[in-house]
Amino acid sequence: RDHRRLSITPGCTGLWQVSGRNDVSFAEMVNLDLEYIQKVSFLLDMQILLRTVRVIFVPNSAY
């Protein structure tokens, strides 16, 4: 199950990075990656990019 997330090319950001980062367990990270694989679309990518910009300027869970 967690090997399935390796079926896509990794990028510089992702759903789990903008959904809690360090507050997300490994299991949750895998679930978010699998959710991304199931819902992959241009609109989702744009949402993740916009959320990434917000996380850069308001890093609430970065250690």
Give pLDDT tens digits for 1-53: 767 888 888 888 888 888 887 788 888 988 998 999 999 999 999 999 999 99
Output the pLDDT for position 11: 83
Statement: residue 63 has pLDDT above 60: no
8 Å CB contact between 21 and 58: no
Computed over its alpha carbons, how large is the radius of gyration of the chain?
12
What pLDDT is attached to residue 48? 94
pLDDT value at position 43? 97
